[in-house]
Amino acid sequence: MKLNVFFTPISIDELYFTHKTTVVIDVLRASSTIVAALKNGAKEVVPVATVEFAMKVSGGMFGGQTLLCGERNTKKIEGFALGNSPLEFTEKVVKGKSIILYTTNGTRAIVKAKFSENLFVCSLENLSAVAHHLVRLNEDVEILCSGKSNTFSLEDSICAGKLSTEIMKTKEDVELSDAARASVSLSKSFGKNILKMLQETEHGKILIGNGFNDDLKYCSKLDITNIIPYFSGNALKILPNNLEGESNKNKTE
């Protein structure tokens, strides 16, 4: 099995992902928000690459069943129902709803990888579940870090490194690209105190400055769920073959 990491989606063309197995990571905060929404009973999360497309998609759906959500520069977009804080996506708010989600980095990365054969979303909270599923799949994996405005983000690369490390715990013949080797190394150097690491990243500091310190605490939790968001038919749903995922899926449909 080969593991490769891209530190930013701009490095690569969307056609590259055709026939690939891809994992998109956006630790702060889209990955966690998507997992939170699905965990709390959202029917699906539709990731979109532009605000305009978010409004267009939302406009074609029936009111009440759809929530238009997203952020620009960490803050909720005016007129949208929710921002991009996982804490907003409670069961009361999202249960049974289709979530249309636009975020500066994460949802754009997912849309870029849309031609993948298998496309999953990973955050720290479902990291081991994703790793174990990838081991079962036994395909080469492209880990796509959402990054920060087309540049490197430390927290995503560390999550990529932790994911790679978790895969290598149960899989022996893993071949790492340069970027994957770097991620593993960075996860060892910076990954011991995750909350502290998040608070010291560029993105973490901006979020704290905008009052989202509780989001950092939420996003720092490791392996608290088995839910794996899976992209199919332009929407993310809970991967049905995953154990906890299956039970949640039944709950929401």
Considering the rule CB under 8 A, would residue 186 count as an interface residue with a copy of itself? yes
Half-sphere exposure of 79 (CA within 13 A, CB side): 6
Considering the rule CB under 8 A, would residue 146 count as an interface residue with a copy of itself? no
Q: What is the rounded distance in angstroms from the CA atom of residue 189 to the CA atom of residue 158?
A: 9
Shortest distance (Å) from residue 185 CB to a copy of itself = 4
β-strands 175-176, 2-6: how paired?
A: parallel
Q: What is the rounded distance in angstroms from the CA atom of residue 18 to the CA atom of residue 16?
A: 6
Task: Report which residue type is found at 218.
Answer: Y
How many C-beta neighbours within 10 Å does residue 76 have? 16
Considering the rule CB under 8 A, would residue 7 count as an interface residue with a copy of itself? yes
Q: Applying CB under 8 A, which part among 22-30, 106-114, 130-138, 175-183 lies near a copy of itself?
A: 175-183
Considering the rule CB under 8 A, would residue 90 count as an interface residue with a copy of itself? no
Shortest distance (Å) from residue 135 CB to a copy of itself = 24
Question: What is the secondary structure of 83-133 as a DSSP string?
Answer: -S-GGG--HHHHTTPEEEEE-TTHHHHHHHTTTBSEEEEE-GGGHHHHHHH
In this chain, which of 1, 3, 8, 194 binds a copy of itself, going by CB under 8 A?
Answer: 8
Considering the rule CB under 8 A, would residue 85 count as an interface residue with a copy of itself? no
Q: Which is nearer to a copy of itself, 37 or 216 (CB)?
A: 216
Q: Which residues bind a copy of itself (CB under 8 A)?
A: 5-8, 10-12, 148, 150-154, 157, 177-179, 181-182, 185-186, 188-190, 201-203
